[in-house]
Homo-oligomer: A and B are copies of this chain.
């Protein structure tokens, strides 16, 4: 009888492994280092060994295991080949086939951002919602669109790349993508630092922040929580640009919920500001779309990989 499955999230430093029941309960999680030497050739043999050890340790029969869900950074084709994952050293690497051969188990694979969204939809901030859009605010702005329970891939691999929606065409600084006025220039960790520096230049508000090379999103979030005017202004810019962008998303896929990740420190404050501008901007019928914070943190990819396996 099939009772178990593995969810594995391959990152540039560690691989996170989870043993799940097929009902979706996480029974145990652990990590192994990601060995990126020699083009990452050992990564999957290490994963296979870790899975094998776990089966022995728990006296689980192979016939009781559904398989292994896997995620990795980079673009991954439907054939399970990772075109390029710079952090792992993989290039045109047939990860699905490789792990299947090493374990004799069924393997499913998808991109790490998509896995994180699937995980959040299954057991996190998106639970119970088949149509959701996830936005992760990190160094950049990542996104994923889930419609009818499936992550949209897109024709050119840019579905959910919300960080590069133009929100302020008059912007004079260039985005990393070469264009001007992308959401990412305002609503990411680097974006809010950039916005704060601009506000600090004006010297017209009281603030505990100073324009040092170390100025970080964390400092700004902490200052905002203490009521700092410049920090609050920067957070307002973030929420306004994000809220407007999500209002545009609403008339494209009309999700039931937006799940925002990567904002632990100023989470609820940011959610409130974003929703305020979203409601102002969106077509009336979309006003009740829910907003939630991502709930699984670094485990989201592991959960999503297991979810993928259950499909």
Interface residues, chain A, CB within 8 Å of chain B?
129, 131, 143, 145, 147-148, 150, 152-166, 169, 177-179, 244, 247-257, 281, 283-286, 288-289
Contacts and interface: CB of A to CB of B under 8 A. Distances in A.
A164 B252 contact: no
Q: A129, A143, A154, A161 — which one has the most chain B CB atoms within 10 A of its CB?
A: A154
Given A157-B285, A166-B281, A253-B253, 20 more contacts: A129-B155, A131-B154, A145-B253, A147-B152, A154-B255, A155-B255, A156-B286, A156-B289, A158-B251, A160-B254, A161-B251, A161-B254, A161-B285, A165-B248, A165-B251, A166-B248, A178-B284, A179-B281, A248-B248, A248-B252
Contacts of A160: 251-252, 254
Contacts of A153: 254
A251 B244 CA distance: 15
Given A147-B147, A152-B147, A158 B286 contact: yes
B281 A155 contact: no
A294 to B, nearest CB: 19
Given A177-B283, A283-B161, A154 B254 contact: yes
A162 B248 CA distance: 8
Contacts of A281: 166, 179
Pick the 3 closest A-B CB pairs, nearest first. A154-B254, A155-B256, A159-B254
A289 B155 contact: yes
18 contacts: A131-B152, A145-B252, A145-B253, A153-B254, A155-B257, A155-B289, A156-B256, A156-B285, A157-B254, A158-B254, A158-B283, A158-B286, A159-B253, A162-B251, A164-B251, A165-B251, A166-B248, A248-B252
Contacts of A283: 158, 161, 164, 177, 179
Contact of A158 (B156, B157, B250): B250
A154 B253 CA distance: 6
A205 to B, nearest CB: 24
Q: A163, A165, A177 — which one has the most chain B CB atoms within 10 A of its CB?
A: A165
Contacts of A247: 165-166
A32 to B, nearest CB: 33
A301 to B, nearest CB: 21
A129 B169 CA distance: 31
A242 B129 CA distance: 31
B254 A252 contact: no
